[in-house]
Amino acid sequence: MLISISALAGLSPDQVSGAVTIDGDKAKQLFDEGALFVDPRGDADWEAGRIPGALHLDVKKDLTKDSLGAEAKEDESVVFYCNGIKCMRSSEACDKAVAWGYSKVYYYRNGLPDWKQRGYPVE
């Protein structure tokens, strides 16, 4: 069993196998191109603010192959984000999507805090 240094420090992994780790610039580019953004955070975090147009699928209770499949085909771009590097939900969601056969999975590790810091829109 491999344990990353990030996990030992209570941080999300730097990378998720089968997904592409992206920065804020790439996230904004994908946003502008109409990629599906999925917010796997809990209800309270979702209600506190999110990337406009994001789909809320709580990774602990709502994110299933069927729920994601209702919104995106396996060859469409899907961006997962959460509360930044101390939040594990987006990496868990990426793992699931890759396992379900999604081929364009993007892991926005720095997530909503980075998005806000860059001055991008939130709702």
Q: d(Cα 42, Cα 44) in Å, to the nearest integer?
A: 6
pLDDT of residue 10: 79
How many CB atoms are closer than 10 A to CB 30? 19
pLDDT of residue 9: 63
Q: What phi and psi, each to the nearest 5 degrees, are found at residue 37?
A: -100, 130
pLDDT of residue 2: 43
Q: Which domains are present in the chain? A: 13-117 (3.40.250.10)
Residue ranges, the chain, pLDDT below 70: 1-9
pLDDT of residue 7: 52
How many CB atoms are closer than 10 A to CB 98? 16
Considering only the C-alpha atoms of the chain, give the largest distance between any 2 of them, rounded to a whole number of Å: 40
pLDDT of residue 99: 97
Model confidence pTM above 0.85: yes
Q: What phi and psi, each to the nearest 5 degrees, are found at residue 105?
A: -100, 125
pLDDT of residue 81: 98
